Every structure is written in C-alpha cells, then in structure tokens.
C-alpha cells in the first residue's frame, strides 16, 4: 500500500506521496483544484508510485466543500480515499512533534496518519442524501426571508 496526503484548498491540491516511511523520502506535486486537473493528479499518483489505484490510500481533511469533488473523483477511479476530521489531524501532528503548519507539512502529516492509523475508507453520500441536504439548505436560506 502506498500513502498519499492531499492538503485541499479552494484553488489547489498539495499532494505528497510518502515514498519511504523510515527515511521520510517524499515526492510532491501541486495541482489546481479543478475537475480538469483531477485526471492529471490520478495519473501522477499511478505513474509515480507504480501502483494501481486500489493500492494507493489517499488521505485528506474534510475542508467544508472543497474536498468533496476530488474525493469523489478519486473514489470513482478506485483509489482508497480517507477523509478525516481536521481535529484528528491536529492532535496527531502535535503527537508526532510537528509544530509548523505549511501545505507541504500538512500533506506529509496526512500521509503519515494514513500509514500509521487504520482509517475507515470514505464513501460518497447517496444521491438521495445529497438532494435532502440541498433541500434542507435551500429551506434554511428561504427561512431567513419569511
């Protein structure tokens, strides 16, 4: 299994493949957080690791809505996607002595967390659940005007 951490932001994806856990050799790449770049990211992951998608665990934080599209794309391509609570990551980072916070460092912590912890894989919500959430959000928005 290969471990990749992706620090997700509104406009970019900072990806880090943990090549060697002992020596912390890594390979990094930045992609734009756009659907047209997702294919390039998945190709980069497979080409660099030499593995098929189902042998690559991709770990990212839940970042509002910014992680949803890339998580769903990678999931549909067969990657093992794990979306974790940011509070878990902060606690883990403190536990391993990480004091700095940069996009690259966050990607490294995500990859290390994936390698160290038995994280349950993420699955996208059903289309019915997404529709209900959208309906609820719309009702909430309309309630402000009533």
In tens, the pLDDT along 90-133 reads: 999 999 999 888 899 999 999 999 999 999 899 888 888 878 87
Structure tokens at 9: 């932001």
pLDDT higher at 126 or 86: 86
- Cα–Cα distance for residue pair 111/3, rounded to 1 Å: 5
DSSP one-letter string for 15-45: EEEEEETTTTEEEEEEEESSHHHHHHHHHHH
Domains along the chain? 2-143 (3.30.420.40)
Mean pLDDT, the chain, as a whole number? 92
Q: What is the pLDDT of residue 146?
A: 62
For the question of whether the overall pTM of this predicted structure is more than 0.75, the answer is yes
Q: What is the pLDDT of residue 108?
A: 94
């Amino acid at each position: 299994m290969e471990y990749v951490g992706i620090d997700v932001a509104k406009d970019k994806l900072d990806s880090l493949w943990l090549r060697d856990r002992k020596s912390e050799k890594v390979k990094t790449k930045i992609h734009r957080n756009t659907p047209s770049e997702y294919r390039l990211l998945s190709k980069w992951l497979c080409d660099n690791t030499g593995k098929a998608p189902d042998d690559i665990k991709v770990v990212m934080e839940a970042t509002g809505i910014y992680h949803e599209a890339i998580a769903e794309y990678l999931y549909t391509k067969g990657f093992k996607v794990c979306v974790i609570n940011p509070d878990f990551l902060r606690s883990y980072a403190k536990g391993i002595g990480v004091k700095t916070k940069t996009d690259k460092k966050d990607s490294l912590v995500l990859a290390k967390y994936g390698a160290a912890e038995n994280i349950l894989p993420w699955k996208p919500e059903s289309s019915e659940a997404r529709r209900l959430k959208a309906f609820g959000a719309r009702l909430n928005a309309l309630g402000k005007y009533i």
